[in-house]
Amino acid sequence: MRLILIRHGETEANLLNRWSGSKDLDITNLTASGKAQAQKLGDWFRKENFTPTHVYVSPQKRAKDTAHLAGHHWNLPFITLEDLKETGAGIFEGLTWEEIESKYPEQARNFKGSRDWSFVEESEQENDRRDRGNRILELVLTHHSDDDVVVMFCHAGIIQHTISCIFESPKLWGIMTKNTAIFEFQLLITKWSDSTRERFNPTSWRVLRFNEDPHLN
Protein backbone atom coordinates (compact mmCIF):
# COMPACT_ATOMS: atom_id res chain seq x y z
CA MET A 1 0.00 0.00 0.00
CA ARG A 2 1.12 3.53 -0.70
CA LEU A 3 0.31 6.15 1.92
CA ILE A 4 0.74 9.77 0.87
CA LEU A 5 0.52 12.63 3.38
CA ILE A 6 0.21 16.15 1.94
CA ARG A 7 0.33 19.44 3.79
CA HIS A 8 -2.07 22.24 2.83
CA GLY A 9 -1.01 25.25 0.74
CA GLU A 10 0.35 28.51 2.08
CA THR A 11 -1.86 30.55 4.43
CA GLU A 12 -1.64 34.12 5.64
CA ALA A 13 -0.68 32.77 9.07
CA ASN A 14 2.25 30.95 7.47
CA LEU A 15 3.36 34.17 5.76
CA LEU A 16 3.10 36.25 8.94
CA ASN A 17 4.60 33.61 11.26
CA ARG A 18 1.39 33.38 13.25
CA TRP A 19 0.62 30.17 15.08
CA SER A 20 -1.97 27.95 13.44
CA GLY A 21 -3.80 25.09 15.05
CA SER A 22 -7.11 23.30 15.15
CA LYS A 23 -9.24 26.44 14.78
CA ASP A 24 -10.28 27.86 11.41
CA LEU A 25 -9.42 31.57 11.45
CA ASP A 26 -9.46 34.14 8.65
CA ILE A 27 -5.65 34.11 8.64
CA THR A 28 -5.56 30.31 8.20
CA ASN A 29 -7.28 30.44 4.81
CA LEU A 30 -5.18 29.83 1.70
CA THR A 31 -3.45 32.82 0.14
CA ALA A 32 -3.45 33.32 -3.63
CA SER A 33 -0.02 31.68 -3.60
CA GLY A 34 -1.36 28.79 -1.54
CA LYS A 35 -4.15 28.20 -4.04
CA ALA A 36 -1.62 28.31 -6.88
CA GLN A 37 0.52 25.73 -5.07
CA ALA A 38 -2.46 23.40 -4.79
CA GLN A 39 -3.37 23.90 -8.45
CA LYS A 40 0.22 23.13 -9.48
CA LEU A 41 0.05 19.98 -7.37
CA GLY A 42 -3.06 18.96 -9.29
CA ASP A 43 -1.31 19.67 -12.60
CA TRP A 44 1.60 17.49 -11.48
CA PHE A 45 -0.78 14.67 -10.54
CA ARG A 46 -2.25 14.83 -14.06
CA LYS A 47 1.21 14.88 -15.64
CA GLU A 48 2.20 11.81 -13.60
CA ASN A 49 -1.12 10.08 -14.41
CA PHE A 50 -1.56 9.65 -10.68
CA THR A 51 -4.94 8.69 -9.24
CA PRO A 52 -5.34 7.31 -5.71
CA THR A 53 -7.88 4.74 -4.62
CA HIS A 54 -8.90 6.67 -1.49
CA VAL A 55 -8.70 10.28 -0.31
CA TYR A 56 -8.97 11.48 3.29
CA VAL A 57 -9.12 15.15 4.24
CA SER A 58 -8.82 17.15 7.44
CA PRO A 59 -12.08 18.92 8.36
CA GLN A 60 -10.27 22.28 8.34
CA LYS A 61 -10.84 24.70 5.48
CA ARG A 62 -7.24 25.13 4.36
CA ALA A 63 -6.81 21.38 3.92
CA LYS A 64 -10.21 20.91 2.24
CA ASP A 65 -9.50 23.76 -0.19
CA THR A 66 -6.08 22.28 -1.01
CA ALA A 67 -7.63 18.86 -1.60
CA HIS A 68 -10.29 20.28 -3.92
CA LEU A 69 -7.84 22.32 -5.97
CA ALA A 70 -5.33 19.48 -6.26
CA GLY A 71 -7.62 16.48 -6.61
CA HIS A 72 -11.08 17.43 -7.88
CA HIS A 73 -10.28 15.83 -11.26
CA TRP A 74 -10.07 12.40 -9.60
CA ASN A 75 -13.86 12.37 -9.18
CA LEU A 76 -13.44 10.44 -5.95
CA PRO A 77 -15.29 10.95 -2.66
CA PHE A 78 -13.21 12.89 -0.14
CA ILE A 79 -13.59 11.33 3.30
CA THR A 80 -13.39 13.86 6.13
CA LEU A 81 -11.30 12.45 8.97
CA GLU A 82 -11.38 14.36 12.24
CA ASP A 83 -8.05 12.91 13.35
CA LEU A 84 -6.32 14.70 10.44
CA LYS A 85 -7.00 18.18 11.85
CA GLU A 86 -4.02 20.22 13.00
CA THR A 87 -2.69 19.87 16.52
CA GLY A 88 -4.31 22.41 18.82
CA ALA A 89 -2.12 25.27 20.04
CA GLY A 90 -4.74 26.65 22.42
CA ILE A 91 -4.40 30.30 23.43
CA PHE A 92 -1.33 30.66 21.16
CA GLU A 93 -3.36 30.25 17.98
CA GLY A 94 -3.45 33.27 15.68
CA LEU A 95 -0.62 35.06 17.48
CA THR A 96 3.01 35.75 16.60
CA TRP A 97 5.65 34.61 19.09
CA GLU A 98 6.25 38.25 20.08
CA GLU A 99 2.54 38.66 20.83
CA ILE A 100 2.54 35.43 22.82
CA GLU A 101 5.50 36.60 24.93
CA SER A 102 3.78 39.92 25.55
CA LYS A 103 0.32 38.53 26.31
CA TYR A 104 1.29 35.31 28.10
CA PRO A 105 4.85 35.85 29.41
CA GLU A 106 4.89 33.04 31.97
CA GLN A 107 3.38 30.44 29.66
CA ALA A 108 5.69 31.52 26.84
CA ARG A 109 8.75 31.26 29.10
CA ASN A 110 7.81 27.79 30.37
CA PHE A 111 6.94 26.52 26.91
CA LYS A 112 9.87 27.96 24.96
CA GLY A 113 12.58 25.64 26.21
CA SER A 114 10.51 22.55 26.88
CA ARG A 115 7.84 22.57 24.16
CA ASP A 116 5.64 21.12 26.88
CA TRP A 117 2.04 21.78 25.90
CA SER A 118 0.83 21.33 29.47
CA PHE A 119 1.97 24.93 30.02
CA VAL A 120 -0.37 26.24 27.30
CA GLU A 121 -4.03 26.69 28.21
CA GLU A 122 -6.63 25.05 25.94
CA SER A 123 -3.93 23.28 23.91
CA GLU A 124 -3.95 19.66 22.79
CA GLN A 125 -1.63 17.57 24.91
CA GLU A 126 1.18 15.39 23.58
CA ASN A 127 -0.46 12.07 24.45
CA ASP A 128 -3.60 13.09 22.60
CA ARG A 129 -1.57 14.15 19.56
CA ARG A 130 0.32 10.87 19.51
CA ASP A 131 -2.94 8.95 19.96
CA ARG A 132 -4.31 10.63 16.84
CA GLY A 133 -1.19 9.72 14.87
CA ASN A 134 -1.59 6.11 15.95
CA ARG A 135 -5.28 6.10 15.04
CA ILE A 136 -4.47 7.41 11.56
CA LEU A 137 -1.94 4.63 11.05
CA GLU A 138 -4.31 2.03 12.50
CA LEU A 139 -7.09 3.15 10.15
CA VAL A 140 -4.78 2.66 7.18
CA LEU A 141 -3.65 -0.77 8.37
CA THR A 142 -7.12 -2.10 9.19
CA HIS A 143 -9.27 -0.55 6.44
CA HIS A 144 -7.01 -0.87 3.42
CA SER A 145 -5.17 -3.49 1.40
CA ASP A 146 -1.69 -3.71 -0.08
CA ASP A 147 -3.11 -2.63 -3.46
CA ASP A 148 -4.54 0.65 -2.17
CA VAL A 149 -3.10 4.11 -2.77
CA VAL A 150 -4.24 6.40 0.04
CA VAL A 151 -3.85 10.19 0.00
CA MET A 152 -4.37 12.32 3.11
CA PHE A 153 -4.53 16.12 2.95
CA CYS A 154 -3.68 17.54 6.35
CA HIS A 155 -1.25 19.68 8.37
CA ALA A 156 2.38 19.91 9.45
CA GLY A 157 1.84 19.07 13.12
CA ILE A 158 -0.23 15.93 12.63
CA ILE A 159 2.09 14.84 9.81
CA GLN A 160 4.99 14.89 12.30
CA HIS A 161 3.10 12.74 14.77
CA THR A 162 1.86 10.32 12.12
CA ILE A 163 5.37 9.86 10.73
CA SER A 164 6.72 9.19 14.22
CA CYS A 165 4.05 6.49 14.55
CA ILE A 166 4.89 4.99 11.15
CA PHE A 167 8.56 4.84 12.19
CA GLU A 168 7.51 3.50 15.61
CA SER A 169 9.67 6.20 17.16
CA PRO A 170 9.09 7.22 20.79
CA LYS A 171 10.47 10.65 19.88
CA LEU A 172 8.72 13.43 17.98
CA TRP A 173 11.02 14.46 15.15
CA GLY A 174 10.97 18.09 14.04
CA ILE A 175 10.26 18.42 10.31
CA MET A 176 10.21 21.76 8.50
CA THR A 177 7.26 20.69 6.37
CA LYS A 178 6.82 22.78 3.24
CA ASN A 179 3.41 23.89 1.99
CA THR A 180 1.90 21.21 -0.30
CA ALA A 181 4.89 18.96 0.45
CA ILE A 182 4.46 15.24 -0.24
CA PHE A 183 5.43 12.42 2.12
CA GLU A 184 5.01 9.00 0.51
CA PHE A 185 5.44 5.63 2.20
CA GLN A 186 5.09 2.10 0.90
CA LEU A 187 3.85 -0.39 3.49
CA LEU A 188 3.14 -4.09 3.23
CA ILE A 189 0.07 -4.29 5.43
CA THR A 190 0.05 -8.08 5.40
CA LYS A 191 3.50 -8.09 7.01
CA TRP A 192 3.26 -5.01 9.23
CA SER A 193 2.73 -6.94 12.47
CA ASP A 194 5.23 -9.68 11.61
CA SER A 195 7.64 -10.07 14.53
CA THR A 196 10.13 -12.23 12.63
CA ARG A 197 13.15 -11.10 10.68
CA GLU A 198 10.74 -9.55 8.16
CA ARG A 199 10.90 -6.40 10.29
CA PHE A 200 14.38 -5.86 8.87
CA ASN A 201 13.39 -6.33 5.24
CA PRO A 202 13.56 -2.81 3.74
CA THR A 203 11.68 -3.91 0.64
CA SER A 204 8.55 -4.28 2.80
CA TRP A 205 8.54 -0.64 3.95
CA ARG A 206 10.00 2.18 1.95
CA VAL A 207 10.19 5.95 2.15
CA LEU A 208 9.44 7.04 -1.43
CA ARG A 209 9.15 10.79 -0.90
CA PHE A 210 9.89 12.92 2.15
CA ASN A 211 8.92 16.61 2.28
CA GLU A 212 9.15 16.94 -1.50
CA ASP A 213 7.44 19.47 -3.76
CA PRO A 214 8.28 18.46 -7.35
CA HIS A 215 5.26 20.40 -8.61
CA LEU A 216 6.84 23.69 -7.49
CA ASN A 217 10.26 23.12 -9.07
- DSSP-assigned letters across all residues of 23-65: S--GGGSBPHHHHHHHHHHHHHHHHTT---SEEEE-SSHHHHH
Domain 2-88+126-216 -> CATH class: alpha beta
Cα 126 to chain centroid distance, Å, stands at: 16
Q: Which of 8, 144, 155, 161 is catalytic?
A: 8
| Helical axes 61-71 vs 32-47, angle rounded to 10° | 40
Examine the residue annotation and report whether 86 is marked as an active-site residue of this protein.
Answer: yes
Q: Which of 73, 82, 86, 98 is catalytic?
A: 86
Q: What is the pLDDT of residues 3-12, one digit of tens each?
A: 999 999 999 9
Spell out the per-residue pLDDT of the chain, length 217, in tens: 999 999 999 999 999 999 999 999 999 999 999 999 999 999 999 999 999 999 999 999 999 999 999 999 999 999 999 999 999 999 999 999 999 999 999 999 999 989 999 999 999 999 999 999 999 999 999 999 999 999 999 999 999 999 999 999 999 999 999 999 999 999 999 889 887 888 898 989 999 999 999 999 8
Each as own residue / partner, the long-range contacts of residues 205-209 (CB below 8 Å, 24 or more positions apart, any chain) are: 208/2, 208/184, 209/4, 209/182, 209/183, 209/184
Q: What is the pLDDT of residues 56-101, one digit of tens each?
A: 999 999 999 999 999 999 999 999 999 999 999 999 999 999 999 9
Question: Is the entire prediction scored with pTM above 0.85?
Answer: yes
User: What pLDDT score does 193 carry?
Assistant: 85
Strand partners, 209: 184
User: What pLDDT score does 113 carry?
Assistant: 87
- Kindly list the domain boundaries of the chain, sorted by start residue: 2-88+126-216
